[in-house]
Structure 1
Amino acid sequence: MERGSSKHGPRVDEQMSREVEGLLQGPGAGGSRVDESRQPEPAGEDQPEPKTLTAGASRGGNPQGMSMDDVEGRSRLGRYITMSALPGDREALIANARDNDAPADIVDALERLPDGTRYQTVSEVWAALGHKNETTRW
C-alpha cells in the first residue's frame, strides 16, 4: 500500500496512535487521561479512608448556630441578590432578584420583608426573613 504522506513512517504513526488512545477511547481502554503524578495518594496506614457522603448528610464545618439547610438556603438567596442591590430596601431587592431570574419562592420571600428597612448584607435579609445566621465567637 502506498502512503500519501511522507512526514513520518509507520513506527511514528503507531507511537502517535498509542499517545492519543486514552483520549479517543476513554479511561477504560488503556488508562486514564490524568497524569499519574496528579492523582491523589492513598491514605496512610494509620489514616482513615476518605468517604463519600450520601445526599442530605451534613458536610460538617457549618458556621456555629446554623444548620446545613440554613447555609444552603442563605447561599441560594445570595445567588439572586447581587452586591449592586446592597444596601437596599425591599423594593430594590425584589427588582434585583427578578432581574437575576430568581425563582418565585425567592421573590415571594422578599415580598414579605418589612417596608422601609434598608439591608446592608444578604445575612441581614436572611435574618429578616426569620432564619438563623451564625453566632459570633468571642
Structure 2
Amino acid sequence: MERGSNQVGPRKDDEMKHELEGYLRSGQHTHVEEGNDPEPPADDDIRVDPGGPVPPPGGERDQALAEADTESLRLELARHLERATFPADRQTVLDALQANHAPDTVLEAARSMPDGATYANVTEIVAAVADARPRQR
C-alpha cells in the first residue's frame, strides 16, 4: 500500500489507533489525558453564568441576584407544574407541586403566595411570590 508523504508506518499507525480508541468511543476525555481535563468548580467559587458579564457590586448586583433567583424559581415551577393545572388557586398549585415532588425551596416560595387569587400561568405565580417577598435594602 502506498502511503505517499505519510511519515507514520503501519505499525505506528495501529499503535496510535489503539491509544485513541477509548477517546473515540467515549466522546469524552480518558484517564490518560486527565491533566488536560478542566477542574470542577470548588464549593466556595463564585458562580458565573456564561451568558453575560459579572454584575458589579452594590445595588445592581443585588438586583441581578434577585432576577436570577426569580428566573430559577420560574424554571422550577414550570418543570413541576403541568398546563392542565391552570387556572389555579394557591392550594391547587401547592397540591400539584407536592404531587410532582417539587423541591422544598419551590414549595416554600409557593406557600408565600397570597390566598384567594387565581393564577393563569407560572409567570403570574412568580410575580405573586416576588410581591410577597420582603424588600431588602
The match for 1:60 among 52, 56, 65 is 52
Runs of 4+ in 1 over 6 A off after TM superposition: 14-17
Cα separation, 1, equivalents of 2:127 and 2:94: 16
TM-score (normalizing by structure 2): 0.50
Offset at 1:111? 2.3
Name the residue aligned to 1:85: 85
C-alpha spacing 1:88/1:20, structure 2 compared with 1 (3 Å): farther
Distance 2:108 2:15 in 1: 58
**1:56, CA displacement in angstroms?**
2.5
List aligned pairs for 1:22-101, cutoff 5 A: 22-24=20-22, 26=30, 28=33, 55-58=46-49, 59-60=51-52, 67-101=67-101
> Relative contact order: is structure 1 or structure 2 higher (C-alpha 8 Å, sep ≥ 6)?
1
Please state how far the C-alpha of 1:120 moved relative to its aligned partner. 0.9
TM-score normalised by length of structure 1: 0.50
Runs of 5+ consecutive residues of structure 2 not aligned to the other structure: 1-11, 24-29, 34-44, 54-63, 132-137
RMSD: 3.8
When you count helix as a share of all residues, which structure comes out higher?
A: 2
Higher gyration radius (CA)? 1
Uncovered stretches (5+) of structure 1, i.e. residues with no partner: 1-13, 29-53, 132-138
Number of residue-to-residue matches in the alignment: 98
Query: Does 2:121 correspond to 1:121?
Result: yes
> Which position in structure 2 is the counterpart of 1:110?
110
**Percent identity over paired residues:** 23
Corresponding residue for 1:47?
A: none
What's the CA shift string for 1:102-130, capped at 9, x where partnerless?
12232222223222322111110000112
The SS at the match of 2:73 is helix
